[in-house]
Amino acid sequence: MKHFLKKFANGLKRWYILLVLLAIYIPLVLIIILSFNGETTRGNIKLNFDVPTFVNYINLFHNDQFINSLLNSLLLGAIVTPFSLLFGVLACSGLWKSRQSTKNFVLNISRFSIMSPEVITGISLVLLFSAAWIPLGFHFGFFTVVLSHISFCTPYVIITVYPRMMKLNNNLVLASYDLGYSKMKTFLKVIVPHLLPSIFTSAVIVIAMSWDDFIITNMVNGSWQTLGIAIYMTRKGIKAWVITFGAILTIITVLVMFFTTIVKSKGFKHIKRKK
């Protein structure tokens, strides 16, 4: 018995990484496979494997619910991302020369906002809009969703950009001033280029958070629907368009990762040749 357990433990050590990867990627593979099934009369995905067909992909771009929610999410991301990046980068730029106590306060507030449950954040935003927005004659809808997304996405930008900001050499900024550049030109020509890698990473995080959010958006959206809400609201069966759209996202992600890996490997080979 002890020999068997020891042998089992050794085998598990060898294969546990593979098992974890299978547990992660098998559902994604199933989504891609199921996307080539047909759909039922109610628009749900057929779970029984049949002759592969592209009917779901054809119907996807004729589905008004999908098209409208997709356009809403694209519009939302196009507005929320630049504003979140602007506020986050400006905050980090201000923190760069601030006192340590101020830095700690802002960073702790940002971390608290990220760690705070979405339900609590959503309730606080609903109360805020009910007290300051609704009395002005406005309603829950597009603008409340935009403001809410900016509020919970900006802390992610601050946490991501701040470490890069602290690595900025102050001599570069002083040299820019000596050359006659104003503070605005120095910010655009020196600080922003230095922060570009972190800004790009922050943009990806903001877009992902904005697209994926359901709880906060559902509490402040009124009747305005995003793609996340449209997907989460499919309670009576899994809709074929949801599976098809998920398959498209999975395929795009795999292709991006594949080409990124190729580019990085070629870069490493080029560096080794130079050495």
Q: Is 137 left (phi over 0), alpha (psi -120 to 50) or beta?
A: left
- State the burial class of residue 201 (Cβ atoms within 10 Å of its Cβ: 0-12, 13-18, 19+): middle
Burial class (CB in 10 A: 0-12, 13-18, 19+), 266: exposed
Tell me the per-residue pLDDT of 108-135, one tens digit each, with 9 for 90 and over.
888 888 888 889 999 999 999 988 888 8
Instruction: State pLDDT tens for residues 72-97.
Output: 999 999 999 999 999 999 999 888 88
Residue 261: count of CB within 10 angstroms of its CB? 10
Q: What is the pLDDT of residue 63?
A: 86
pLDDT at 270 over 60: no
Collapsed DSSP state (helix, strand, coil) of residue 39: strand
Residue 202 scores a pLDDT above 90: yes
DSSP reduced 3-state for 98: coil
| CA 164 to each of CA 79, 96, 195, 198, 202: distance values in angstroms, whole numbers, following the listed order | 24, 10, 6, 7, 12
Which structure tokens are listed for 118?
A: 């979405």
- C-alpha to C-alpha distance for 131 and 193, rounded to whole angstroms: 41
Q: Which two tokens stand for residue 23?
A: 């547990």
Judge whether 135 and 233 are in contact, CB under 8 Å: no
- The mean pLDDT of 246-272, rounded to a whole number, is 77
Which residues fall within 8 angstroms of residue 229, CB to CB, at 6 or more apart?
Answer: 69, 214, 217, 218, 221
What average pLDDT is seen over the chain? Answer: 85
Nearest to 59 by CA among 268, 241, 270, 242: 241
Q: What amino acid is encoded at 57 in this protein?
A: Y
Nearest partner of 122 among 135, 132, 113, judged by Cα: 113
pLDDT the model gives residue 36: 87
The tens digit of pLDDT for each residue in 179-197 reads 888 888 888 888 889 999 9
Question: How many C-beta atoms surround the C-beta of residue 66 within 10 A?
Answer: 20
Encoded tokens for 224 = 């305005």
Tokens of 164: 């890069």
